Amino acid sequence: MSGLAVAGVSHRFGDLPALRAVDLVVEEGEVHALIGFNGAGKSTLMRAALDMLKPDAGTVEVLGVEVARAGPEVWGAVGHLIDTPFAYPELTVRENLWAAARLHGVDAGEAHGAADRVVAALELEPWAERRAGTLSLGNRQRVGLASALVHDPRLLVLDEPTNALDPSGVVLLRELLLAAARAGTAVLVSSHHLDEVARIADRVSVIHAGSMVGELDPRGSDLERAFFAMVHEADRAARR
């Protein structure tokens, strides 16, 4: 069973095609990177994968269950950071993570322990008792990442997770994602930092103008050159 299986997903925003018959599979235990320019369709695809929008066509399965039929037991095994970190400004960092744990289905008796674990994992101890509204953007991003991880999900979907992170935060995130994948979690991560992708991804899919245009070898010698070549070829093919 794959962590995430997207088949033939298309979606339009009015006249603008956002996704065109996109296929994507993220296997358990793999880090699958999704790369593309701004507006290529990365975030829209992730939103469709998480039932945040209903695509016009195609199917999405999360942990082997079609999203329309997925209930709390399925979503309780999914972690995500899309758009904005889970960080209510009036709550402290620890309270936010407790709240995220509870909403993700962690029992009341275990939620405080789960929050404490991710506070340590994301090195948030110095800010744990501070209100999230007082945090820097980078630390708020760490809180969002901790919220996505607090319930040990089996599928992790992260949209541009390195946004606002300092270099130590990027390294920390890299280690956490690799550890999650080693533990069997299916990880889908979008990025346009190709060097970062090369360090963590088992597979790299390229999305361009709403279409999946191919895969790149993350161990290849020049990922950037290969990415641009693939995108330009897709543009040429579209013009023909």
Partner 1 sequence: MSAAYAVEALKLRRSRVVLVATVALALVPAGMARAFLAAAEQGGNDPASLKAQAMLPGPGWAGYLGGLVQIYATAGVVGVGIVVGWCFGREYADRTVVSLYASATPREDVARAKLVLLTAWATAVGVLVVAVALVVGVVTGLGVPDGEAARAVGRVALLAVLSGLLALPVALAASRGRGYLPAVGGLLVLVVVAQVATVAGAGGWWPWSAPAVWAMGPEAGMPEVPVSRLLLVPLVALVGAVATERWWRRAEVG
Binding site for partner 1 (CB under 8 A): 47, 50-54, 62, 72-73, 75-76, 78, 80, 82-91, 95, 99-100, 102-105, 108, 144, 147, 151, 157
The answer to whether the CB of 147 falls within 8 A of the CB of 85 is yes
Give the position of tokens 């999230």.
132
| Lookup: tokens for 29 | 């235990």
Our CB check for partner 1 shows the closer of 22 and 87 to be 87
Q: Map residue 7 onto helix, strand or coil.
A: strand
Strand partners, 157: 80, 188
The answer to whether the CB of 129 falls within 8 A of the CB of 36 is no
Question: Please, what is the minimum distance in Å from the beta carbon of residue 144 to partner 1?
Answer: 8
Closest CA to 218 of 204, 232, 207, 230: 204
Our CB check for partner 1 shows the closer of 43 and 162 to be 43
| Lookup: tokens for 220 | 């290849």
Our CB check for partner 1 shows the closer of 144 and 169 to be 144
Our CB check for partner 1 shows the closer of 41 and 223 to be 41
Question: Please, what is the minimum distance in Å from the beta carbon of residue 106 to partner 1?
Answer: 8
Contacts for 11 with CB less than 8 Å, ≥ 6 apart: 17, 18, 19, 44, 48, 53, 55, 56, 57
Question: Please, what is the minimum distance in Å from the beta carbon of residue 124 to partner 1?
Answer: 17
Backbone torsions φ then ψ of 31, nearest 5 degrees: -100, 115
Q: Report the residue count for the chain.
A: 240
Our CB check for partner 1 shows the closer of 73 and 222 to be 73
